[in-house]
Chains A and B, each alone.
Chain A
């Protein structure tokens, strides 16, 4: 029995050491990789960004607001907190995370979409948050994932099991073989894509979509905006360009814009609606119905800064 227990204990100890060691390598390796917006969360958690202008929003924020152009024009330090596939609930948590580790900005550009206040069923590519899972705000983001069991995050290596590629990327970060993806610049991902044609299919099928606004979520957003204003932060609500075809597909697009506009004027928050801008009428500035391409971003940034 003694021999059995000693050997079992020894093997388990060695295994535990190896597992924790590899877990550490993956965790630290992946933080420096270019996977999704992971480097952004690393910068946010590390702190010291101290942006004066902060962009918050979804993928449309992520790829539409170029901090470099904004900085050149305004002379203020800018950072893009856009989170791909997100709605307001998770954007709010990301902002909380930012404010926990960085000085509050002077101005927040909150990029709004037609679907910003829909109820969230899950967090798109949530594995990008797992290296930072010990952060309180990150845990609350992960909790938004319907039915997600957070206990497994306590298990080394296993916590990355929902997307095995993370493990390989993390380990390969120490080797010359790295995954080449466009890096983020101050949280901004430059959209190099060209028109992908998926939207044309939607038009051909004559499909129309109605986007709802969850009143509880929207009220929460309103309260949060008031709170941020009280903290001395200037807030701007911005709806960046949508391709005109996409606007037509959303059956209640103008109603949504009206709600945003009316609420903003009640709260005395500047509201910039670019859906009627000339950019929205030219397909050449988009890579799909709701996302601008690199040329579109240049054009949009210039128009936005003129509006400002």
Chain B
């Protein structure tokens, strides 16, 4: 089911009303209803793949329970099989402290240090006690989830790449690929459920014994298919809290849904109408057209993905849940490091916490730190899809990030520009960062690395003729300008609508935004969200 579909327009109010008016009195029943709704939401696309979500949830729920019975003290692994963790007040206190620490200091050094320690905690154990202990369950969870992801998403890629490689050596291999359908959202929910097992393994989170709450956490429909990839430490506890409808939360949710739909249906889908023909016929396009194609793709992917995230966060708010922010006006970034603090935050922090830091992060010799950065960016690219284009895209970002890291400037822009109008220096920094990001997007969007090179070289080779830009409709030109201005205005609150004061002024703004979605939006064909393919 797509957020921008008539089906969802009917589905959402029904679920909302039943949730608050029929099931509100019983938290367990309310969670069960959310689970059922989430499965309907997902099954609407293809019910056969529900089995994968259920299997993934079941494996991690079981691993979590088993991990809960094994606790760690310093570097020793002690099995507490058969002991009720809830009865152990010391452990309970330790775990709740960890959870609070993670929740309050998500972007500080505190959880980072803690996680490094917990990951390195098994070094002294022998293999037998290690395997009998926590790692057995973590390995099982990792193997199952990554195995499932690997099979559905990367199987054909590895077969194709191996075939190409063997052919290069002069052999003629006959290896067949499988006709696999990529289950929507598999990369998102496997990462979400993995975060739970890893956090429980590290002792950062108390495992849950409530299967309904856990299964709902994995399948929570607002963010099931394209994130934000929630941490169990943030989302899971919300399923145990009695939820009461709050006007402000509901109102904020509606604003986010409205703005998310504008970004998706007006900005992204209109840009797609221009971008797709340019990328499909890049060989014959002029240099200026190719540049416009790359810039508009940057708008398209941002509008598409951040629009989805806004709608997801907004819908979750309607049900009394707070999801993490996924985008913070990334195109106003002044360098690549800042861009990565603002783009797809839930994924970049996931990789930071579960890959980069365990590898040693930046607190290792420079060469190792550079290796870690490369690994994280390449894996991040590979996460997006089984194609060398995504890996190259990741590699480009690593190459852009490393010089900033080496001169120690990777944390120099931690806050947004505070002025209403940016300085010339800031404008220059923003434009140059945006240009570099656009170049990398060409690899992301192209079908092959060769196509991407062809596209970029076409910008230089083909004459930059003074084009007639009539083919870029007035709608998209005006809408993009309005969009940029509103994004700039709302860069602190992550939604410009929150800045509006005065009831009538606010209502006019809401109605006008909704009207523009209908007036400027693309409806001729159902436009899927780009990140559904990941």
Binding site for B on A (CB under 8 A): 1, 3-4, 7-8, 11, 14-15, 18-19, 22, 147-149, 151-152, 155-159, 161-162, 164, 167-168
Inter-chain contact B511/A4, CB cutoff 8 Å = no
| A158 touches which of B20, B245, B521 (Cβ 8 Å) | B521
Contacts of A158 in B (CB 8 A): 518, 521, 523
15 contacts between A and B (CB under 8 A): A4-B251, A14-B511, A15-B515, A22-B515, A22-B519, A148-B524, A149-B524, A149-B525, A155-B523, A157-B518, A157-B519, A158-B518, A159-B523, A161-B523, A168-B474
Contacts of B254 in A (CB 8 A): 8
Chain A's nearest CB lies how many Å from the CB of B528? 13
Chain A's nearest CB lies how many Å from the CB of B229? 29
CB-nearest residue of chain B to A162: B524
Inter-chain contact B247/A19, CB cutoff 8 Å = no
Inter-chain contact B250/A161, CB cutoff 8 Å = no
Contacts of B515 in A (CB 8 A): 15, 18-19, 22
Is B494 positioned at the interface, with any CB of A under 8 Å from its CB? no
Given A15-B511, A18-B511, A164-B473, does the pair A4, B518 have CB atoms closer than 8 Å? no
CB-nearest residue of chain B to A7: B251
Contacts of A155 in B (CB 8 A): 6, 518, 523
A7 to B18, CA, bound (A): 19
CB-nearest residue of chain A to B510: A11
Is B520 positioned at the interface, with any CB of A under 8 Å from its CB? yes
Contacts of A167 in B (CB 8 A): 519
Chain B, 226-281, CB within 8 A of any chain A CB:
245, 247, 250-251, 254
Chain B, 500-534, CB within 8 A of any chain A CB:
507, 510-511, 514-515, 518-526
Inter-chain contact B523/A1, CB cutoff 8 Å = no
Chain A's nearest CB lies how many Å from the CB of B44? 16
Is B475 positioned at the interface, with any CB of A under 8 Å from its CB? yes
CB-nearest residue of chain B to A149: B525
A247 to B297, CA, bound (A): 44
Contacts of A7 in B (CB 8 A): 251
Chain A's nearest CB lies how many Å from the CB of B269? 9
Inter-chain contact A164/B520, CB cutoff 8 Å = yes
Chain A's nearest CB lies how many Å from the CB of B88? 41
A238 to B20, CA, bound (A): 69
Interface SS of chain B: helix, strand, loop or mixed? Answer: helix
Contacts of B250 in A (CB 8 A): 1, 4
Inter-chain contact A151/B6, CB cutoff 8 Å = yes
Contacts of B518 in A (CB 8 A): 19, 155-158
CB-nearest residue of chain B to A151: B6
How big is chain B's contact interface, by range? 20 to 34
Contacts of A19 in B (CB 8 A): 515, 518
| A11 touches which of B6, B507, B521 (Cβ 8 Å) | B507
A14 to B251, CA, bound (A): 17
Chain A's nearest CB lies how many Å from the CB of B456? 31
A120 to B470, CA, bound (A): 28
Contacts of B510 in A (CB 8 A): 11
In the complex, given contacts A15-B514, A19-B515, what are 6 additional A-B residue pairs having Cβ atoms less than 8 angstroms apart?
Answer: A4-B251, A18-B515, A22-B515, A148-B524, A164-B520, A167-B519
Contacts of A8 in B (CB 8 A): 254
Chain B's nearest CB lies how many Å from the CB of A136? 22
A152 to B518, CA, bound (A): 12
- Chain B 472-497, CB-CB to A under 8 Å as 1, else 0, gives 01110000000000000000000000
A162 to B520, CA, bound (A): 10
A157 to B523, CA, bound (A): 10
Contacts of B251 in A (CB 8 A): 4, 7
Contacts of A157 in B (CB 8 A): 518-519
Contacts of A168 in B (CB 8 A): 474
A164 to B518, CA, bound (A): 11
| Residue with the highest number of chain B CB atoms closer than 10 Å, among A8, A151, A158, A162 | A158
Given A156-B518, A161-B521, A167-B519, does the pair A11, B511 have CB atoms closer than 8 Å? yes
Chain A's nearest CB lies how many Å from the CB of B472? 12
| Residue with the highest number of chain A CB atoms closer than 10 Å, among B20, B518, B522 | B518
A14 to B475, CA, bound (A): 24
| Residue with the highest number of chain A CB atoms closer than 10 Å, among B251, B515, B524 | B524
Given A4-B251, A8-B254, A18-B511, does the pair A161, B524 have CB atoms closer than 8 Å? yes
Given A11-B510, A18-B511, A156-B518, does the pair A164, B475 have CB atoms closer than 8 Å? yes
Chain B's nearest CB lies how many Å from the CB of A19? 5
CB-nearest residue of chain A to B270: A164
Inter-chain contact B511/A152, CB cutoff 8 Å = no
A203 to B510, CA, bound (A): 57
Chain B, 436-453, CB within 8 A of any chain A CB:
none
